Structure 1
Amino acid sequence: MNTLIKLEIVRALRNKRFMFFSVIYPPVLYMIIAGGAGSAKVPGTALNLNLYYMVSIAAFGAMTAVLLGNSERIAKEREKGWVRQLRLTSLPGRGYVMAKIAAAATVSLPSIVLVLATAGAVKGVRLEVWQWVAIAVATWLGSFVFAALGVAIGYLASGDAVRPVAMLVFFVLAFAGGLWMPLTFLPDWVQNIAEWLPTHAYAGLGQSMEVGDAPRAKDVALLVGYLLVFAGLAAWRYRKDTRKA
């Protein structure tokens, strides 16, 4: 499994389009969105817009890397027969799923760090050292949830359908979870739904730490629950695909 993880990381780092959209694009997007946001307070929170969007765009960038990247690569690997070849090895289904999740989450880390660095160096965001570290680590660990979702989508959708399916899931979760704009700007029914979405809980980890608090137990529990569901779905689809081969 370790060998597969290393191979996946090297493949991702060599993909220039992947590196641009998952590593370079998020800090640029943060500058565009937060550039005119200033230090105005987000209604209903103790955060200003610079802080709010720092965590949201870091989460958005990590999701781009692990969800979209994972789903498309897996669907293409299935079509080309690479997954079939892996089944001939001693690698178990859970090993394949965990390798994909771990590799995707690893390459999401540069995106998170760059967004945080941009916020501090360009937008003047000031936090304690422990807050910077805790936000980076929490955002990275939270990305495992969406890496698992990417693996599941890669097995649920065909090669032709995987991109629109993954994009639809990605944008719905990002919008309804409050990554693009504060939930207080959205209708009440969207806010009620967002409370149970993994993206809202994901951003909530860093937002709690930005004000000096520990992550909410509800956010942590939701993310752990979604991780188990998505990883289980991915492993089930892998085994089902194996029986068809």
Structure 2
Amino acid sequence: MTGPLSGALIGLEVTRTVRNKKFMFFSVIYPSVIYLLISGTRNTTDTVPGTDLTMQAFFMVSMASFGALTAVLMGNSERIAKEREKGWVRQLRLTTLPGSGYVLAKIASAAIVTLPCIVVVFVVAASAKHVTFDAWQWAALTGTIWAGSLVFAALGVAIGYLATGDAVRPITMIIYFGLSILGGLWMPTATFPQWLQNISVWLPTHAYAAVGQSIGMGGAPEARDIALLCGYFLLFAGGAARLYRKDTLKA
């Protein structure tokens, strides 16, 4: 479905992202700094209400997820909006590249950046805050947080088509912080009022955080959370592909 043209686009996107030193530094270092600031106010024995997961481990999983979300959502939305204004996307539409190929190329290239974000947070948590897990948990957390970031990479593509170059940043920031806070990446949702908890459980970030927390507690992710993430991915990716095909912005 993607073909050689999509493969070439993925390579181009990865190269452009890696060469953007400011974006790479912000995406990789920022989540670890936030983790140290937040976790510094907690001791190693505090646990998340209603669970046996320590707050240090909770914030490690949350900030790794937050970092992955930062890399794929912020990067994709702003870059695509600018590409539309410059006419680059219009040129791509003149090729044989299908809408699905363009969207998947953007998602894949963005997701590659998330791995160092996740690993750096894990290394900082393990070395500075002595967070410990079994080997299978470390591997499972890395894989699930990375895979879950694809949902938000697709959302970033969709936002890039819905917003203009001037409006994309404030719109993305509102969605970015809204989903992060309400979804439980900054604090356990168990501390929310009940009415807010009822809303939170339907957000993709809540399911994203819950998957990592389940693994951190030594269990398997809930089927409901996996289903929600898959549903949101199909919604965002399908919407982004549709917007790509309908975009008529001139160079």
TM-score between both structures, scaled by the size of structure 1:
0.97
| Residue in structure 2 matched with residue 218 of structure 1 by the alignment | 224
| Equivalent residue in structure 2 for 1:94, among 71, 76, 100 | 100
Q: Structure 2: any 5+ residue segments left out of the alignment?
A: 1-5
Q: Deviations over 1:171-193 (max 9, x none)?
A: 11001001111112222111111
Contact map agreement 1:87 1:242 (CA 8 A) in 2: no
Name the count of aligned residue pairs.
Answer: 245
Contact map agreement 1:104 1:147 (CA 8 A) in 2: yes
Q: Deviations over 1:79-124 (max 9, x none)?
A: 0111111112221111000000011011111101111111111110
Q: Deviations over 1:36-77 (max 9, x none)?
A: 212211112221110110110001000100011100000000
SS in structure 2 opposite 1:66?
A: helix
Q: Distance in 2 between matches of 1:243 and 1:94?
A: 19
Residue 7 of structure 1 and its aligned partner are, at CA, apart by 0.9
Q: Distance in 2 between matches of 1:220 and 1:195?
A: 13
CA RMSD in angstroms, aligned pairs only: 1.3
- Does residue 57 (structure 1) correspond to residue 51 (structure 2)? The answer is no
Q: Distance in 1 between matches of 2:88 and 2:143?
A: 32
Q: Structure 1: any 5+ residue segments left out of the alignment?
A: none
| Residue in structure 2 matched with residue 38 of structure 1 by the alignment | 43
| Equivalent residue in structure 2 for 1:134, among 130, 140, 154 | 140
- Does residue 27 (structure 1) correspond to residue 32 (structure 2)? The answer is yes
Contact map agreement 2:73 2:152 (CA 8 A) in 1: yes
| Equivalent residue in structure 2 for 1:16, among 17, 21, 27 | 21
Q: Deviations over 1:150-187 (max 9, x none)?
A: 00000000111000111111111001001111112222
Q: Distance in 2 between matches of 1:43 and 1:204?
A: 14
| Residue in structure 2 matched with residue 73 of structure 1 by the alignment | 79
C-alpha change, 1:243 and 1:73, in structure 2 (3 Å) is closer
Q: Distance in 2 between matches of 1:33 and 1:176?
A: 17
TM-score between both structures, scaled by the size of structure 2:
0.95
Q: Distance in 2 between matches of 1:49 and 1:132?
A: 17
C-alpha change, 1:75 and 1:243, in structure 2 (3 Å) is closer
Q: Deviations over 1:12-57 (max 9, x none)?
A: 1111221122111111111111122122111122211101101100
| Residue in structure 1 matched with residue 161 of structure 2 by the alignment | 155
Q: Alignment identity in percent?
A: 62
One-letter amino acid of the counterpart of residue 88, structure 2: W
- Does residue 110 (structure 1) correspond to residue 119 (structure 2)? The answer is no
Q: Deviations over 1:110-153 (max 9, x none)?
A: 10111111111111011100000000000000000000000000
Contact map agreement 2:103 2:241 (CA 8 A) in 1: yes
One-letter amino acid of the counterpart of residue 207, structure 2: A
Q: Distance in 1 between matches of 2:214 and 2:11?
A: 33
Residue 227 of structure 1 and its aligned partner are, at CA, apart by 0.2
One-letter amino acid of the counterpart of residue 232, structure 2: Y
Q: Return 29-38 or 173-182, whichever deviates more.
A: 29-38
Residue 243 of structure 1 and its aligned partner are, at CA, apart by 8.9
**Structure 1 residue ranges, 4+ long, deviating more than 4 angstroms after superposition:** 242-245
